[in-house]
């Protein structure tokens, strides 16, 4: 706490405006604000079920102080999507309907909505403006803040200011983070919070007096836990970042105290999540991780149906490979699809390869132990997320752009390209890096046209390009339009 107070006491002596530090956050605002979905397509028919489900909870919490969404302005549109055989991302318990999303983010947005209501804005008199402002709070500000944190953390690689600005722009525009800055979603704020948790740890590692960094460790734990309550995939990093504290060059009792402070900071978001979730699901898992609550579990896509029939036929065939062999093959197939498939990480954002090269440079060269541990946590956490995702989600398909389930760690992975930037390379290598960056940025900008589709289906960069050229990004549903009249 004394460190934070000292920071504010010395603030008048510091440079107030830092052009290089502000360049990327301002660029994010200039690009994202005109492209926000509520500004381009404010109708309910243009909202995805993901947004409708979350906005219904925001309105229910702010206006009715409950998570039941039956009395909200968005419930009728969700019900029409039920009739159109489109998953509405809601669950029904005891004849009451709830969003299947983790509720903490909705509660935060409900607080912002309460402030708007105090100024006379509501879903009833100016829905488009309210949703626009909520999108800024939920997505634009976290993405812009993430860019600023990357610039600050770039000091770790001893890069000059222009190169740190380039690194911040690369991470923000080349990792897919910007694609989800234009709609209300959980992935962008969770990724920014994980970056914030890592930024606090980086600040702690360079502190000259360990006993004055306790507040930063608590903030780190708070950010990591809040990210985990928003996006379940971030829970991997909530646990893994403890290893960075253990690797600090402190005495044993100081490291133990650091871990305890990290845990203390993580407790409030977890308690809040429990208070909101347990009454509905009976445990800490949000409804989206309870398949038995969903009404659409039996409604499989064509690919899933074909796969299910193949599995059933294989079970009846005595000459077929054993079950464990088929399961291993399917798991490998899913991992390959997650990496280089039609919605793969590297097929959409090849510049992430240079993040892996940066991690390799940190792990095999003489870097501080804590830096190596943070790089290892990024790599192992990303691998764990890729391996666990098929268990958490039934498939990687869906009406959303790119590898969104891995967005929570992609900006952090690309951050390590700073270790690659600090070294000299052959001109051909720089040219390949530039091509990969241009391709990744282009794909990320394409994703901004419509991160969530209204109609379900496979959504790749190619689909986004075709929809952009034909000016039909959202494919509004006829019945949803009727429901709002």
Task: Please identify which residue in the block is written with the tokens 């990093």.
Answer: 237
pTM listed for this prediction? 0.87
Query: pLDDT at position 6, please?
Result: 67
The Cα–Cα gap between 113 and 184 comes to 13
Distance of CA 185 to the CA centre of its chain: 8
Beta-bridged to residue 97, according to DSSP, are 92
The Cα–Cα gap between 50 and 88 comes to 8
Summarize pLDDT for 200-219 with one digit per residue, the tens: 999 888 776 666 778 899 99
3-state secondary structure the chain: CHHHHHHHHCHHHCCCCCHHHHHHHHHHHHHHHHHCHHHHCCCHHHCCHHHHHHHHHHHHHHHHCCCCCCCCCCHHHHHHHHHCCCCCCEEEECCEEEECCCHHHHHHHHHHHHHHHHCCCCCCCCHHHHHHHHHHHHHHHHHHHHHHHHHHHHHHHCCCHHHHHHHHHHHHHHCCCHHHHCCCCCHHHHHHHHHHHHHHHHHHHCCCCHHHCHHHHHHHHHHHHHHHHHCHHHHHHHHHCHHHHHCCCCCHHHHHHHHHHHHHHHHHHHHHHHHHHHHHHCCCCCHHHCHHHCCCCCCCCHHHHHHHHHHHHHHHCCCCCCHHHHHHHHHHHHHHHHHHCCCCHHHHCCCHHHHHHHHHHHHHCCCCHHHHHHHHHHHHHHHHHHHHHHHHCCCCCCCECCCHHHCCCHHHHHHCHHHHHCCCCCHHHHHHHHHHHHHHHHHHHHHHCCCECCCCCCCCHHHHHHHHHCCCCCCCCHHHHHHHC
Domain ranges for the chain:
41-295+349-484
Is the pLDDT reported for residue 151 higher than 80? Answer: yes
Query: pLDDT at position 376, please?
Result: 96
Is the pLDDT reported for residue 97 higher than 90? Answer: no
The mean predicted confidence, pLDDT, of the chain is 84
Number of C-beta neighbours around residue 4 at 10 A? 12
Top-confidence range, 237-246, 326-335, 443-452:
237-246
Check residues 456 and 351 and name the one with the higher pLDDT.
Answer: 351
Query: pLDDT at position 479, please?
Result: 38
Query: pLDDT at position 356, please?
Result: 96
Summarize pLDDT for 372-400 with one digit per residue, the tens: 999 999 999 999 998 887 655 544 445 68
Q: In this structure, what token pair is assigned to residue 274?
A: 């429990």
The Cα–Cα gap between 97 and 78 comes to 10
Phi, psi of 280 (to 5 degrees): -95, -50
Task: Please identify which residue in the block is written with the tokens 């605002």.
Answer: 29
Report the b/e string of 439-453 with b at 16+ CB within 10 A: bbbebbbbbbbbbbb
Nearest to 458 by CA among 394, 402, 397, 406: 397
The Cα–Cα gap between 177 and 187 comes to 8
The Cα–Cα gap between 408 and 342 comes to 19
Query: pLDDT at position 8, please?
Result: 67
32 contact partners, CB below 8 Å, separation of at least 6: 139, 140, 143, 144, 178, 181, 182, 448
The Cα–Cα gap between 201 and 206 comes to 9
Residue 51: exposed, middle, or buried by beta-carbon count in 10 A (0-12, 13-18, 19+)?
Answer: buried
Is the pLDDT reported for residue 315 higher than 80? Answer: no
Average pLDDT over residues 159-183: 95
Is the pLDDT reported for residue 409 higher than 70? Answer: yes
């Amino acid at each position: 706490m004394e460190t934070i107070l000292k920071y504010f006491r010395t603030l008048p002596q510091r440079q107030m405006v830092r052009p290089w530090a502000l360049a990327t956050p301002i660029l994010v605002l200039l690009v994202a604000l005109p492209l926000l979905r509520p500004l381009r397509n404010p109708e309910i028919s243009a909202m995805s079920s993901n947004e409708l489900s979350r906005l219904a909870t925001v309105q229910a919490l702010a206006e009715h102080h409950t998570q039941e969404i039956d009395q909200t302005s968005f419930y009728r549109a969700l019900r029409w999507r039920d009739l159109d055989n489109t998953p509405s991302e809601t669950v029904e318990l005891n004849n009451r309907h709830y969003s299947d999303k983790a509720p903490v983010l909705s509660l935060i947005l409900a607080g912002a909505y309460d402030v708007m209501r105090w100024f006379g804005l509501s879903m009833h008199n100016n829905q488009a403006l309210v949703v626009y402002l909520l999108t800024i709070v939920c997505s634009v500000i976290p993405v812009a803040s993430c860019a600023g944190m990357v610039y600050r953390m770039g000091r770790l690689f001893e890069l000059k200011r222009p190169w740190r600005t380039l690194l911040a722009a690369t991470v923000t525009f080349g990792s897919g983070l910007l694609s989800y800055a234009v709609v209300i979603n959980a992935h962008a704020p969770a990724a920014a919070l994980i970056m914030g948790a890592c930024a606090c740890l980086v600040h702690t590692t360079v502190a000259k007096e360990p006993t004055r960094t306790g507040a930063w460790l608590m903030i780190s734990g708070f950010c990591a836990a809040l990210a985990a309550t928003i996006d379940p995939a971030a829970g991997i990093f909530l646990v893994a970042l403890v290893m960075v504290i253990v690797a600090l060059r402190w005495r044993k009792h100081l490291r133990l105290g650091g871990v305890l402070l990290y845990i203390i900071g993580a407790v409030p978001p977890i308690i809040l999540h429990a208070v909101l979730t347990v009454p509905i699901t009976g445990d800490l898992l949000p409804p989206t991780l309870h398949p038995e609550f969903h009404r659409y579990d039996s409604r499989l896509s064509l690919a899933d149906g074909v796969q299910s029939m193949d599995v059933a036929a294989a079970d009846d065939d005595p000459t077929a490979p054993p079950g464990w062999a088929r399961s291993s093959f399917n798991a490998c197939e899913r991992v390959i699809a997650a990496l280089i498939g039609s919605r793969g990480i590297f097929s959409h954002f090849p510049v992430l390869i240079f993040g892996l090269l940066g991690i390799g440079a940190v792990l095999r060269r003489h870097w501080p132990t804590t830096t190596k541990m943070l790089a290892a946590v990024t790599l192992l956490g990303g691998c764990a997320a890729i391996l666990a995702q098929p268990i958490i989600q039934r498939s990687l398909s869906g009406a959303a752009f790119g590898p969104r389930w891995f967005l929570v760690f992609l900006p952090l992975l690309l951050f390590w390209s700073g270790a690659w930037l600090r070294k000299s390379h052959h001109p051909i290598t720089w040219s390949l890096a530039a091509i990969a960056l241009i391709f990744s940025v282009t794909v990320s900008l394409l994703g901004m046209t419509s991160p969530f589709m209204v109609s379900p289906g496979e959504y790749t960069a190619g689909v986004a390009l075709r929809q952009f050229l034909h000016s039909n990004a959202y494919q509004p549903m006829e019945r949803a339009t009727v429901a709002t009249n």
